[in-house]
Amino acid sequence: MRSFATLAAGALAGLAFSVAAPAQDSYPTHPITIVVPVPPGGIVDMAARLASEPLTTALGQPVVIDNRTGASGNIAYGMVAHAQPDGYTLLASYSMYHVGNPSMFSALRWKKESFTPVGMVAVAPHVVVVHPSLPVHNLKELAEYARANPGELNYASQGSGSVPHVGTELFKQLTKTEMTHVPYKGSGPAIQDVLSGRVQLFITTPPSVMGHVQQGKLRAIAVAGRERHPMIPDVPTSAEQGFEGFELDAWVSLFAPAGTPDAAIRKLSAALKAGLDKPATVQKAAGAGVQVRYQSPEELGRTVETDTAYWSKVITSAGIVAN
């Protein structure tokens, strides 16, 4: 026969479960915040807003955007890493910040283990553009020109440690060439100097340069990936040109602080997937030059591990260090 104490303990445990279960099922009960590490506009902010709409509809609570910029994303990442792990604070993570910053910064308030994957939202392919004065029309000619003129070719980026920066360093490593990095605070100033000819090369997302390419002010010579981009269907991919290792797809994904309950992660991820599967969402993303690409928490976790291992080698070999 069980003692009264045992029976009482069992009853209390059952009561605790009955109280916890409805509380868990009721999530969320108030607004959710997605912290974005960049200013409004651009692919990361756009993807965060793309995710916020279906999450708001599916979860029945407002999902608000909070742009926390600065320090190459580290302000936002540190904020979310130390937030309460209750499912009400999420991070819209930019791939190169997520997998590259730990190799570029000597001291961070976060590490990749500080976050739990929720789901991938979108990917953004990149296009290689040059000033028309540069006598190159494909990647092979670009590599040959750079070898013939070591260090004289200037390339722009929207900041140290960005995909354009690390991606061009990858191209240099693959082709054994030398080019000079000219960093800018954002893609806008970078594009202006490429248009003027002060720098000759820029790797960026197609929407930001499409008008200039169509007007002949810039020349697109390759899409850095395996698939052609619908905005520039006549521009061959790097794979088509024999540069299969040169692929630059930036991703934007949602993460929660480590320790967030699995039930909340599953509910968020399911709502995200349902929203991204809608044709209207796919069309909206395509209009902004990005591709919807959902990954489950498990798939995204594997992507983070693979990308961190790959890009950390590129960053270390290039000697990229941020202060």
Find tokens 């409004």 and name the residue. Answer: 40
CB 59 within 8 A of CB 271: yes
Among residues 268, 311, 287, 212, the alpha carbon closest in space to that of 86 is found at 268
* Alpha carbon distance 241, 36 (integer Å): 35
Q: Which pLDDT score is estimated for 133?
A: 96
The set of residues, in sequence order, having a beta carbon less than 8 Å from that of 3 and lying 6+ positions away, is none
pTM comes to 0.86
* Distance (Å) of CA 217 to CA 16, 130, 135, 231: 67, 9, 14, 17
Structure tokens belonging to residue 176: 């054994």
Beta strand pairing call for 201-204 and 127-130? antiparallel
* Alpha carbon distance 131, 200 (integer Å): 5
Q: Which pLDDT score is estimated for 143?
A: 98
Q: Which pLDDT score is estimated for 13?
A: 45
The set of residues, in sequence order, having a beta carbon less than 8 Å from that of 184 and lying 6+ positions away, is 156, 157, 158, 159, 190, 193
* Distance (Å) of CA 67 to CA 72, 163, 272: 13, 20, 20
Torsion of CA 266, 65, 113, 120, to 10 degrees: 50
Q: Which pLDDT score is estimated for 53?
A: 92
Q: Which domains does the chain have, with CATH numbers?
A: 16-124+251-318 (3.40.190.150), 127-223 (3.40.190.10)
Q: Count of residues for the chain? A: 323
Tens-level pLDDT at each residue, the chain (323 residues): 344 344 344 444 444 443 433 345 789 999 999 999 988 888 899 999 999 999 999 999 999 999 999 888 999 999 999 999 999 999 999 999 999 999 999 889 999 999 999 999 999 999 999 999 999 999 999 999 999 999 999 999 988 888 999 999 999 999 999 999 999 988 889 999 999 999 999 999 988 899 999 999 999 999 998 889 988 999 999 999 999 889 999 999 999 999 999 999 999 999 999 999 999 999 999 888 889 999 999 999 999 999 999 999 999 999 998 75
CB 237 within 8 A of CB 252: no
Q: Which pLDDT score is estimated for 323?
A: 58
CB 306 within 8 A of CB 145: no
Alpha helix (H) ranges present in 107-199? Answer: 139-148, 163-175, 187-196
Helix, strand or coil, per DSSP, at residue 30: coil
Q: Which pLDDT score is estimated for 22?
A: 38
CB 256 within 8 A of CB 85: yes
Q: How far is CA 110 from the centre of its chain?
A: 17
Q: Which pLDDT score is estimated for 39?
A: 87
Structure tokens belonging to residue 223: 């899409």
CB 249 within 8 A of CB 125: yes
User: What does residue 198 show for φ and ψ, rounded to 5 degrees?
Assistant: -65, -35
Report DSSP state, residue 88. Answer: S
